Structure 1
């Protein structure tokens, strides 16, 4: 494996699989720095249980699933409620729209195939595919992924959907201010060469913290000129664009390891110019 990150310091903003990502950075010759920009993700048990009970009692016409991890959490909660079979039947009698390959894989584990899936791994791609269907008057359940999806909700309402129910199996919480401050100062002082982001909340928490302390413009300038921002996939990349920090690295295969390898290739190509 070529050491394309030799001498580079890479901040890892995602707390999940940080050990695995650190190992890949080291194999490529770089130095990983753990700089979590997202706190613990936890399941909202009471909300989830009441949502599942309502779901199986009155199955929706359409079920929109946005993450595989979320679907797994829902089935785990359903098993505790002894309603796993009822949930599976509700899904079988509903049209299913899925975003992302992990969601499709989570469905496949349960012998389910989505009627609609995104064309590019993003919510925008899912909306494009759903445009081919008449949703007017339909009852729709949307499984969210740690935060609200205002664009998707607004689009569904524009299509004349009769009812939208949201299921939020887990929530993203902010990291400690000390963690955000350390990452922010690393970027502003150019103590690092790159930051890898693995979810939309990470960039939002960071930019909100920078804005609160009057350093947002400086943060954006550092990302534009000196520090390379990398996104694990299209959803994270879109959030970064919305926050004014467009990523310079997005892997074709939306996986954390692929992001690190793509980052190394980016630096290698930059040095050859």
Structure 2
């Protein structure tokens, strides 16, 4: 039996979703809680076109006895590395090396991907951010100098790499995937115009590239004032502190961030609770 609208907390409110990877999952969670959903994926994730560098990194990681630690920043990265290892006939060796090294994870998501192959994170940063990992490093002892680092997107994460060097360590980074535009500019502008009409009650951001894409297209096409005006009148939800910080730095208020678990279901729960509170208050 599906949840009723009255139980859901959304009561027919309209929510825009820039999510791409798990769009149907997130949309389903909202619709079962009584929301009307506008699907508007802004970015997609692709394997990096530089597969040669990924293959070389995999071989180095597998064969180098000086690598006894790996920092995993995203679950997506773990999955992409496993896929690349499969394509290059290195998967058994890669999984074996992953099992042997200490796996330092930025929050819980890498651990979820590792569980797919029967492994788990050995150390998890309490705060799922780069800074959380940086703060964790002084508490760890390293038996070898070289540390493998799985990056997210094409971002080199210089603060993390520099911190490793400051501690006398040598980062060995790999970027197994990239963010790519999934919608052309015209469709992003259509979304901005839809938001500007004022009939959308909330928008839920689940990654930083979504924020950058939406604001970037608005600025390039003279829609930034209209977009900011629209955003100022709706509920803005962020899946976690990393996305919330970017929104705040770009001058966008954030109303909802899950308190402890930065996944889709807690995000939907937090949004429903905020709307329910507004209904009680008569807002």
- Report the TM range for the smaller structure's normalisation: 0.7 to 0.9
1:238 to 240, 245, 263: 245
Check conservation: 1:187, 1:222, Cα contact below 8 A: yes
2:158 to 134, 150, 158: 150
Given the alignment of the two structures, is residue 42 of structure 1 paired with residue 49 of structure 2, yes or no?
Answer: no
Mark the CA change 1:115 to 1:30 in structure 2 (over 3 Å): closer, same or farther: closer
SS in 1 for 2:25: helix
Mark the CA change 1:265 to 1:107 in structure 2 (over 3 Å): closer, same or farther: same
SS in 1 for 2:139: coil
Check conservation: 1:13, 1:35, Cα contact below 8 A: yes
The separation in 1 between residues aligned to 2:148 and 2:206, in whole angstroms, is 26
Check conservation: 1:198, 1:236, Cα contact below 8 A: yes
Check conservation: 1:116, 1:129, Cα contact below 8 A: no
The separation in 2 between residues aligned to 1:27 and 1:103, in whole angstroms, is 28
Match of 2:12 in 1: 7
Match of 1:202 in 2: 210
Match of 2:60 in 1: 54
Match of 2:81 in 1: 74
Shift of 1:33: 0.4
Given the alignment of the two structures, is residue 25 of structure 1 paired with residue 25 of structure 2, yes or no?
Answer: no
The separation in 2 between residues aligned to 1:239 and 1:6, in whole angstroms, is 29
The separation in 2 between residues aligned to 1:151 and 1:226, in whole angstroms, is 35
The separation in 1 between residues aligned to 2:28 and 2:105, in whole angstroms, is 32
Check conservation: 2:69, 2:101, Cα contact below 8 A: yes
SS in 2 for 1:173: strand
Within 5 Å, which residues of 2 pair with 1:71-220?
A: 71-133=78-140, 138-148=145-155, 149-161=157-169, 163-174=170-181, 175-216=183-224, 218-220=226-228
Check conservation: 2:14, 2:35, Cα contact below 8 A: yes
Given the alignment of the two structures, is residue 228 of structure 1 paired with residue 235 of structure 2, yes or no?
Answer: yes
> 1:141-186, CA deviations, whole angstroms, 9 ceiling, x for partnerless residues?
211122312332343344343x322211111112311232122223
Q: Which runs of 5+ in 1 are unaligned?
A: none
Check conservation: 1:37, 1:203, Cα contact below 8 A: no
The separation in 2 between residues aligned to 1:138 and 1:157, in whole angstroms, is 9
Mark the CA change 1:219 to 1:134 in structure 2 (over 3 Å): closer, same or farther: farther
Tell me the TM-score normalised to structure 1 length.
0.86
Tell me the TM-score normalised to structure 2 length.
0.83
The separation in 1 between residues aligned to 2:186 and 2:29, in whole angstroms, is 26
Check conservation: 2:16, 2:40, Cα contact below 8 A: yes
The separation in 1 between residues aligned to 2:233 and 2:189, in whole angstroms, is 18
> 1:13-68, CA deviations, whole angstroms, 9 ceiling, x for partnerless residues?
10122223223322222210011221x31112333222212222325243111122
- Number of residues paired by the alignment? 270
The separation in 1 between residues aligned to 2:180 and 2:26, in whole angstroms, is 22
SS in 2 for 1:63: strand
Mark the CA change 1:192 to 1:50 in structure 2 (over 3 Å): closer, same or farther: same
